[in-house]
Structure 1
Amino acid sequence: MKARSDSLSDNTLPEALQFRAPAPLVDIGANLTHASFFEDLDAVLHRARDANVSQLIVTGTDLEHARQAVTLSQQYVGLHATAGVHPHDASRWNAELERAFHTLYREANIVAVGECGLDFNRNFSSRSDQERAFEAQLGLAAQTGLPLFIHERDAGSRMREMLTSWRDEISQAVIHCFTGSRETLYNYLDLDLHIGLTGWICDERRGHHLRELVKAIPADRLMVETDCPYLLPRNLPAKMKGRRHEPALLPWIVREIAHWRGESEQRLAQSTTATAQAFFRLTDTPEE
């Protein structure tokens, strides 16, 4: 990854956290428009490159952040953007917003509709508002032919119902940051969906059940992500200053997933990158 600015690499990570993947990686979920990256984004991206994280999908969770994600994708080689409305903000969905997103999807660097979906855990927006906004974004995905980048928490049954009714109309869909049950996983795989895994699997309190499930995910459906600055892996070999997650730590997540799948890190890196490139239709070639 090469920044269009001339900033020099600034590796402030502890030596124990300076990982390098054995093959180029794609981080399919990086919230780089978060305020915590405002001051040192060039350095963050240089560290990602040093870790062999060569391509990143910058998540757009509302109109403002989607536009920011597009801007970043225009400024930095190897960055691409998604654009959608997160279920937490679903109550804001209206016809004007829908028109604005429809226009935004003309941008070449947008590779998916989302982050959108259902969150019946926190319910920051009502369930009816969430379903209304998600239904509209399913329609936008069908119209544009873009894949879907989906958020789901405690809503697996309703998510399956809604996706089933649209499955023939949409191209591809990934359940980002999957944390659900075996039944939910199999339901998604039955719908020919992709699965994104994060550092949740590194959390012995909440993610231990995923360790038994990862072998069930076909290689051509599995992708990896940090969801940074959130979901910092709990089992890192050194403390992270400020506890902000970043793309340079993705190789650690790949290592953990590979361990529980019983395969090499290189094989997992290669397969998840090939899957992500095909899913998001990435044309820029990652560099070793």
Structure 2
Amino acid sequence: MQLIDIGANLTHESFDRDLDAVLERARAAGVVQMLITGASREHSPMALELARRHPGFLYATAGVHPHHATEYTDECDAEMRALHAHPEVVAVGECGLDYNRDFSPRPAQRKAFERQLQISADLAVDGVGKPLFLHQRDAHDDFIAMMKNFDGQIGPAVVHCFTAERRELFDYLDRDWYIGITGWLCDERRGAHLRELVKHIPAERLLIETDAPYLLPRTMRPLPKDRRNEPAFLSHIVEELARDRGEDVALTAANATAATRALFRLPRV
């Protein structure tokens, strides 16, 4: 199988000590490409630098997560736009709204999100905006309303780390957005509802991700002693996903890989 992890936070400090080994384990597990999530002014440039050190294998996103929305100044906007001039940066984000934790005031979240949607629109190629890597938690109605304000301007979008309910899923699918599924699927405490919902995601809209080092799949055996998630565990997630969809795992993997390359315009390897 050829797998692509669409969301790995490899700039996280937990990977500082053994990143090369983490990448080698990912390759051995069938991960042929991955996107390094840029989610702040600090980490988006780091994601780009990491991608530049591993051409063709690693790519980056550049954006500001709603938790960090208060840092989205005019200077930050200029920094994001400069990052997006690099071909290794393939998506705008991680950006969106998070009303679950409210680490940033909601008006600041909405302003930062709007400015990043404008970046996607401004970077349109042949009338299609740059792809979006989106975060939404407990903010569905405002999230949809803001996206609607940019209808016909922004690029294709993936709602990363989908964990919500049926109504939200079908609202996203009705708008032809992609859905990112993580190891949340493997969490019997919080993710059991996803086992049924994933059956309804069209193959051409279903993407897979680890969100490493977060969301270690709880059904793995044995679990790593440090409880750190990493891209090599993507193969476990796709196996669980295929089982829930009633598909052969090779088919689920192939479809997710094809959909990922279509969304982010990645080359074949």
Distance in 1 of aligned mates of 2:54 and 2:78: 27
Whether 1:52 aligns to 2:36 is no
Structure scoring higher RCO (CA < 8 A, sep ≥ 6) equals 1
Query: Which residue in 2 is equivalent to 1:137?
Result: 116
The C-alpha deviation readout for 1:125-174, integer Å capped at 9, x for no partner, is: 01111000000000001111310000111111111111122131112000
Distance in 2 of aligned mates of 1:278 and 1:57: 14
Query: Which secondary structure state, in structure 2, belongs to the residue aligned with residue 177 of structure 1?
Result: coil
The C-alpha deviation readout for 1:48-97, integer Å capped at 9, x for no partner, is: 00000110100001122111111111111310000000000001111111
Q: 2:221 aligns with which of 233, 237, 242?
A: 237
Query: Which residue in 2 is equivalent to 1:217?
Result: 201
Q: Percent of counterpart pairs with the same letter?
A: 52
Query: Which residue in 1 is equivalent to 2:40?
Result: 62
Whether 1:279 aligns to 2:263 is yes
**TM-score, normalised relative to structure 2:** 0.96
Whether 1:166 aligns to 2:141 is no
Written as runs of structure 1 = structure 2, the 5 A alignment for 1:1-288 is 23-77=1-55, 78-144=57-123, 145-283=129-267, 285-286=268-269
Query: Which residue in 1 is equivalent to 2:126?
Result: none
Aligned residues: 263
Kindly provide the amino acid, as one letter, of the partner of residue 53 in structure 1: V
Kindly provide the amino acid, as one letter, of the partner of residue 59 in structure 1: T
Distance in 2 of aligned mates of 1:83 and 1:272: 22
Distance in 1 of aligned mates of 2:155 and 2:89: 15
- How large is the RMSD of aligned CA atoms in angstroms? 0.8
Query: Which residue in 2 is equivalent to 1:9?
Result: none
Query: Which secondary structure state, in structure 2, belongs to the residue aligned with residue 208 of structure 1?
Result: coil
**TM-score, normalised relative to structure 1:** 0.90
Preserved CA contact (<8 Å) 1:164 1:191? no
The C-alpha deviation readout for 1:249-288, integer Å capped at 9, x for no partner, is: 00000011111111010000000000001101112x33xx
Distance in 1 of aligned mates of 2:181 and 2:140: 16
Flag structure 1 segments of 5+ consecutive residues without an equivalent: 1-22
Kindly provide the amino acid, as one letter, of the partner of residue 20 in structure 2: D
Structure 1 residue ranges (4+ consecutive) displaced by more than 4 angstroms after TM superposition:
none
Flag structure 2 segments of 5+ consecutive residues without an equivalent: 124-128
Distance in 2 of aligned mates of 1:67 and 1:126: 25
